[in-house]
Amino acid sequence: MANITAAMVKDLREKTGAGMMDCKGALNETGGDIEAAVDWLRKKGLSKAAKKSGRVAAEGLVGVAVHGEKGVAVEVNSETDFVARNEEFQALVKTIALVAVEKGETDVEALKNQHYPGGAGTVADAISNAIATIGENMTLRRVSALSVSQGVIGQYVHNSIGDGLGKIGVIVALESTGDKEQLTELGRKISMHVAAAGPLALDAAGIDPAVLEREKNVLREKNAGKPDHVLEKIVESGLKTYFKEVTLLEQPYIHDNGKTVSQAVAEAAKTVGAPVALKGFVRYALGEGIEKQESDFAAEVAAAVSGEA
52 shares its domain with 147: no
Measured at the CA of 114, the angle between CA 112 and CA 116, to 5 degrees, comes to 95
Residue 265 lies in a domain: no
- Say which CATH number the domain at 82 has: 3.30.479.20
Q: Would you say 191 and 235 are in contact if contact means Cβ atoms under 8 Å apart?
A: no
Query: What does the alpha-carbon distance between residue 149 and residue 195 come to, in Å, rounded to a whole number?
Result: 24
DSSP the chain: -----HHHHHHHHHHH---HHHHHHHHHHTTT-HHHHHHHHHHTT--S-GGGGG----EEEEEEEEETTEEEEEEEEESSTTGGG-HHHHHHHHHHHHHHHHHT---HHHHHTSBPTTSSSBHHHHHHHHHHHH-S-EEEEEEEEEE-SSEEEEEEEET-SBTTEESEEEEEEEE-SS-HHHHHHHHHHHHHHHHHH--SBSSGGGS-HHHHHHHHHHHHHHTTTS-HHHHHHHHHHHHHHHHHHHBGGGSEETTEEEEEHHHHHHHTHHHHTS--EEEEEEEEETTTT-------HHHHHHHHHHHH-
Separation of first and last alpha carbons in the chain = 39
Query: What does the alpha-carbon distance between residue 30 and residue 2 come to, in Å, rounded to a whole number?
Result: 9
92 shares its domain with 133: yes
Residue-number span of the structural domain to which 94 is assigned: 59-180+280-285
Residue 109 lies in a domain: yes
Angle, helices 87-103 vs 123-134, to 10°: value is 170
Percentage of residues of the chain with pLDDT beyond 70: 88
- What number is the average pLDDT over the span 142-162? 96
Residue 204 lies in a domain: no
81 shares its domain with 68: yes
Q: Would you say 29 and 43 are in contact if contact means Cβ atoms under 8 Å apart?
A: no
Q: How many CB atoms lie within 10 A of CB 285?
A: 19
Amino acid letter, residue 182:
Q
71 shares its domain with 170: yes
Whether the pLDDT of residue 207 is over 70: the answer is yes
73 shares its domain with 170: yes
93 shares its domain with 63: yes
- Say which CATH number the domain at 15 has: 1.10.8.10
Query: What does the alpha-carbon distance between residue 215 and residue 242 come to, in Å, rounded to a whole number?
Result: 8
289 vs 291, which has greater pLDDT? 289
| 155-169, 192-206, 295-309: least confident range | 295-309
Confidence of residue 309 (pLDDT cuts 50, 70, 90): very low
73 shares its domain with 149: yes
Residue 34 lies in a domain: yes
Predicted confidence (pLDDT) per residue in 68-115, tens digit: 999 999 999 998 888 889 999 999 999 999 999 999 999 999 999 999
Q: How many CA atoms lie within 13 A of 106 on its CB side?
A: 7
Predicted confidence (pLDDT) per residue in 36-75, tens digit: 888 888 777 766 544 433 333 369 999 999 999 999 999 9
**Count of structural domains, the chain:** 2
67 shares its domain with 165: yes
Domain boundary among 56, 84, 99: 56
Query: What does the alpha-carbon distance between residue 126 and residue 193 come to, in Å, rounded to a whole number?
Result: 34
95 shares its domain with 169: yes
Residue 51 lies in a domain: yes
37 shares its domain with 104: no
Domain boundary among 56, 83, 100: 56
Residue 124 lies in a domain: yes
Q: Would you say 262 and 250 are in contact if contact means Cβ atoms under 8 Å apart?
A: yes
Residue 161 lies in a domain: yes
Domain boundary among 20, 35, 56: 56
15 shares its domain with 65: no
